[in-house]
Chain A
Amino acid sequence: MTGAVLEALASHWRRNRLQLLTLVLGLALATALWSGVQAINAEARASYDAAAATLAEGRFHQLMPREGDSMPQALFVALRRAGWLVSPVVEGRLRVGGTAVRLVGVDPLTAPPSSAASEALARTDLNRFLRAETLVAGPEMAALLEANMPNPVLVDQAVAPGSVLADIGVVQKLLGRAGRISRLIVLPEQPLRQQPLADIAPDLVLQRADGATDVGRLTDSFHLNLTAFGFLSFAVGIFIVHGAIGLAFEQRRGVIRTLRALGVPLRRLVVLMIAELVVLATLAGALGIALGYLIAALLLPDVAATIRGLYGADVAGTLQIRPAWWLSGIAMALGGALLAAASALWRLARMPVVAGAGGRAWALGSGRTRTLQAAAAVVLLAAAGVLAVTGGGLAAGFALLACLLLGAALALPPCLAAILRLGEAQAVRAMAQWFWADTRQQLPGLGLALMALLLAMAANVGVSTMVSSFRLTFVGFLDQRLSAELYVDADAVADRAALERFLEAHADAVLPIMSVEATLAGLPAEIFGVRVGYTYRENWRFLDAIPAVWDEIEAGRAVVINEQLSRRAALHVGHTLALGPGLSLPVAGVVGDYGNPIGQAIVGEALFRQTFPAIEPSRYGVRTGNPQGLRRALTEAFDVPPARIIDQAAIKAFSLSVFERTFSVTDALNVLTLAVAAFAILMSLLTLAAMRLPQMAPVWAMGTTQRRLAGLEILRTVLLAAITAVLALPLGLALAWVLLAIVNVEAFGWRLPMYLFPVEYIRLMLFALAAALLAALWPAWRLSRMEPTGLLRIFANER
């Protein structure tokens, strides 16, 4: 029996191939958008991570003495015993055979696993290193050591030129600094419980590793938004699938009644129809994933090649098919299809055995359904309003999104009907009156397709706004934070004073970068000292500031704080911030900071050096018109290893190119979503074409040409699309606002500024109209070329 039932069910698809195509293609396109976005997300993230790991290599937070250049070794033991995973380093200079050598002493047992020291140690053994007092150095230094020192020497390229690595005990002895250490490396992973730093070592300050991974936080936000967009695209697809499935079920009422009358149990019928759906959805899902892969592969650049070119780091170069997004794609397709079919299956399950076979035309929803829909729309939109005002948390943000979109979609048909009624009231001529009335009459049939268009258009407006706002913010942020052409790692050169003199002589401007961990307004924060110059004056944009902000900073009379500190401590321009005992300064400016979780306060260099005399600059930003030349000169003059000079302009260009590619992806996705919506309109029009003949035939019979009727059909569709697109604009802006001002704040603690892009919106609207026009062309063409007998038959048939 099962076979016969399946045969009967399948016969419907054989007769309605177009419907089958709608269903499979709709689902496949929805899945493609979803999995394409997932793939792009995953690949982009992997690439950023690789870049960040390369940039951040060997950089750790450090604890430095507040005053002087060393601390007692007992402090290291005290910190370890208080739960802090720190590793001691002792550094100093020793004259070996007339050459000044930089000695670095480390403790191999506590050194971070990925530090240069531990890499070098991996090539020797502990007994040799500790007991035989081996010195490890690069080839040139090794020769010098072998000639002048009694210790065994091990050659290792990983040790910086001019430096010698040895056990901390050995270096202490050689330098005559028993029991003293220079600094402590803070390991990245710390245990669950540890005593506060201030209780154990109040005389130490935490110097943060440079935030090369700041970019990560910004990209996280971007990916979250892109994922939300993926969901929206999927929702658009589901509307189409819902339409196709609803139609198929309605048209099969007759078959189903016959089958049940022949004795097929309802249960089996429902199970078989679900099975049919699962097969179709799996097929469509697989097709969608393949399409999604294609989208991702076409749109995603060979980021890996760029990374290789820039950093010499080897990264897997091709798009990986990750099981996670394969599975999520199939799951989305199945879940979406079942969700879309739920109401149809529910109606089928409740249908009496002897129900009329013809009955309801598809989707010509009764007055009651329409009232229910309108009521649901009001409730959902009201809920969205309440959530926007009172909601907290990421979940509430997403619930708000869902309520807003669903409510708006359900509200669309009543809104359209009202607008059309207005038009009808203005119409004078009979033809015009018929046009408005007939358009309104068509609403129930086109409703779902128009809802899909509304969502597609709104998603595009929202995402364009989000992405473009993001781009503006990101570019501004990069200009501000990575403004110098070169960054030189201060640790790479032993004689800082000589380095500073050299840079002053050869560069357009030198920007020492120094920072210290602090507690500001009771919150964890960092204080930065900057040398005010044209770099800061020209590049920094403030959210709010007094006019002569940089003059005040330079004079040590004011402080600039970041948005995080401003928001959390409710500090604004004009308020006073206590930076330490006896030092309070007015806030002269608030600056946007998109890559940083904690507060920052920025003061002038002189004031910083006076307040924290022990803190040396960790890096120097260098402004120069000739970065390559200066880089070479630095390497020659100071033996600075190339890895310690960062060509920031190249990094910035790379970051921007990665983002530009990701942005172009969203452009392409815009076109795709609209294509999906246009497809829905086309399918609906084709379906309606036959049903609408009884309404068209009398108008034709009264003398309107088929050509004119076809033209009116096109006009009607474009008009509906235009009204929908106009309604979608505020919805899209609301969507963008929720993404930027609610979801982003909940997820990351800062708000992305929202910018408006009217030209972009007009372009999108034209896209939407073009999509609707394209969708209407074929059905209209069919109507204009229809044999007159087809229209005549309407009158012959008794209907």
Chain B
Amino acid sequence: MNARALIFLLLGVGNAFAQGFAGLGTDAEGFAVPEPGKRFEFPQDHGAHPDYRIEWWYLTANLTGPDGADYGLQWTLFRSALAPGEAEGWESPQVWFGHAAVTSAATHLSTERFARGGIGQAGVIAKPFAAWIDAWQMEGDSLDRLQLSATGNDFAYDIAMHAEGPLVFHGAGGYSVKSAKGQASYYYSQPFFSVEGTISLPEGEIRVRGTAWLDREWSSQPLADDQNGWDWFSLSFDTGEKLMGFRVRDAADSGFTSATWIAADGAVTPYGDGKLVATPLETSWVEGREIPTRWRLVLPDRALDVTVGALNSQAWMGLSIPYWEGPVRVAGTHPGKGYLEMTGYQRR
């Protein structure tokens, strides 16, 4: 393990991601805590909330090349606070890190960046919207029209995004409960982006078009002590309807599930614990771990019964904080595409 990975493990957030997300379950020392009934204010809430421990701007895209080949793309900016609040210069307690990845059926390339807050190396401004770390950026006049780029040692991408629907709020109007004990986060999405642009892989540049989904979430303690990871789905069906669903796994493995059904016009229906049933069908060996890369999702209230399979079962983000994240194909009652994220699977 390199030194930086170690540093992150020693940080709360590193623990949170890599070791059962326990860090997020600890008490919030002086951090603000999400409360039900929040009135979101835009564009301010697109920006950073330094009083909360952790926050992310999480974008995933399902793309198609000129030859019909599927690709996936990820761009994520995380904010993690060592202490609440913001300060100028090196005194800032905010730490930022970015993850970027490109996935095809055959390859998965990923990389990461780290930065301190307060000096301008990374940050988020609400208006005009700009989120950046180093040369990676997501920016535009408003959240409806964004330009997104990132580059690693062996890949790069540059895409334009245009929102074709409204923002979508999960849980109770954006208050998303994560455990039976009431741990929660603020959580909303913009799942209606249509995108086009270019991805550069070692074999060359590829023009792509497709759809993208932006998640915004912040909290100070979204997981309970006994929860150790999650399986998170964002699916876009051919009908124009969408589904966000997750299962937070706990020691007893019964899990806590939550889902949001999104109509084609953006109208949402939340489903609480137990409504969505996610069952692993097939696992793959990935970096010494057994990871479910084919799933059955059932949501009886919507007559939904689909199988979700990874485009590339080896979509492993082998970074300081390792996890699985990649594009999926959906078959069954509601065919479509989407993204799957799985955290907290331990090495055997």
Contacts and interface: CB of A to CB of B under 8 A. Distances in A.
Interface of A: 73-74, 76-77, 80-83, 85, 107-111, 113-114, 118-119, 121-122, 125-127, 130-131, 167-170, 172, 178-179, 189-194
Given A113-B3, A130-B82, A81 B135 contact: yes
B124 interface: no
Contacts of A169: 89-91
Contacts of B7: 108, 121-122, 125-126
Contacts of B2: 113-114, 118
B270 interface: no
A71 to B, nearest CB: 14
A110 B115 contact: yes
Contacts of B134: 80-81, 83, 85
B116 interface: yes
Contacts of B119: 73, 76-77
Query: Could you say which of B3, B10, B82, B132 has the most chain A C-beta atoms within 10 Å of its C-beta?
Result: B3
Contacts of A167: 90
B191 to A, nearest CB: 29
Contact of A109 (B83, B89, B91, B116): B116
B295 interface: no
Contacts of A76: 119, 121
B75 to A, nearest CB: 14
A82 B3 contact: no
Contacts of B116: 107, 109
A243 B2 CA distance: 57
Contacts of A170: 90
A607 to B, nearest CB: 38
Interface in B67-94: 82-83, 89-91, 93
A191 B152 contact: yes
A730 to B, nearest CB: 45
Given A114-B2, A169-B89, 7 more contacts: A83-B134, A121-B7, A125-B10, A130-B93, A170-B90, A172-B90, A192-B154
B90 A191 contact: no
A121 B114 CA distance: 15
B93 A80 contact: no
A119 B82 contact: no
B89 A178 contact: yes
A117 to B, nearest CB: 9
B200 interface: yes
Contacts of A114: 2
Interface residues of B, number: 32
A83 B93 CA distance: 24
B11 A80 contact: no
The 9 A-B residue pairs whose C-beta atoms are closest, nearest first, are A169-B90, A125-B10, A122-B3, A118-B3, A83-B135, A109-B114, A113-B2, A193-B151, A191-B151
Contact of B82 (A82, A85, A127, A191): A127
Nearest to B83: A131
A172 to B, nearest CB: 7
B4 A118 contact: yes
Contact of B90 (A85, A118, A168): A168
23 contacts: A77-B119, A77-B121, A80-B135, A81-B132, A107-B116, A109-B114, A110-B114, A113-B4, A118-B2, A125-B7, A126-B7, A127-B11, A130-B90, A131-B83, A170-B90, A191-B111, A192-B151, A192-B154, A192-B155, A192-B156, A193-B135, A193-B156, A194-B151
A121 B121 contact: no
Nearest to A179: B89
A193 B155 CA distance: 9
Contacts of A121: 3, 7
Given A110-B115, A127-B11, A192-B155, A122 B121 contact: no
B306 interface: no
Given A109-B95, A126-B82, A169-B89, A194 B135 contact: yes
B153 interface: yes
Nearest to B135: A83
Contacts of A119: 3
Contact of A122 (B6, B135, B200): B6
A383 to B, nearest CB: 33
B152 A192 contact: yes
B318 interface: no
Contacts of B151: 83, 191-194
B36 interface: no
Nearest to A193: B151
Contacts of A193: 135, 151, 156
B23 to A, nearest CB: 12
Nearest to A130: B82
A109 B115 contact: yes
Contacts of B332: none
Contacts of B135: 80-83, 191, 193-194
Contacts of A107: 90, 116
A298 to B, nearest CB: 39
Contacts of B43: none
Nearest to B95: A109
B120 interface: yes
B155 to A, nearest CB: 7
A125 B156 contact: no
Nearest to B155: A192
Contacts of A192: 151-156, 200
Nearest to B134: A80
Contacts of A172: 90
Nearest to B97: A109
Contacts of B200: 192
B151 to A, nearest CB: 4
Contacts of A85: 134
Contacts of A178: 89
A771 B152 CA distance: 59
Given A73-B119, A113-B3, A126-B82, A131 B93 contact: yes
A38 to B, nearest CB: 28
A190 B153 CA distance: 6
Nearest to B137: A81
Query: Could you say which of A122, A178, A179, A189 has the most chain B C-beta atoms within 10 Å of its C-beta?
Result: A122
Contacts of B132: 81
Query: Could you say which of A81, A82, A178, A189 has the most chain B C-beta atoms within 10 Å of its C-beta?
Result: A81
A118 B3 CA distance: 6
A392 B162 CA distance: 49
Contact of B156 (A73, A81, A122, A191): A191
Query: Could you say which of A77, A109, A110 has the most chain B C-beta atoms within 10 Å of its C-beta?
Result: A109
A82 B120 CA distance: 13
A126 B152 contact: no
Contacts of A122: 3, 6-7
B287 to A, nearest CB: 19
B28 to A, nearest CB: 15
Interface in B29-46: none
A651 to B, nearest CB: 28
A77 B91 CA distance: 16
Contacts of B152: 191-192
Contacts of B8: 126
A130 B118 CA distance: 13
A108 B116 CA distance: 9
A168 B92 CA distance: 13
Nearest to A170: B90
Given A127-B82, A167-B90, A169-B91, A189 B153 contact: yes
A747 B134 CA distance: 36
A131 B12 CA distance: 14
A518 B105 CA distance: 43
Interface string B101-135: 00000000001001110011100000000001011
A124 to B, nearest CB: 8
Contacts of B4: 108-109, 111, 113, 118
Contacts of A118: 2-4
A564 B51 CA distance: 58
Query: Could you say which of B95, B134, B153, B155 has the most chain A C-beta atoms within 10 Å of its C-beta?
Result: B134
B30 to A, nearest CB: 13
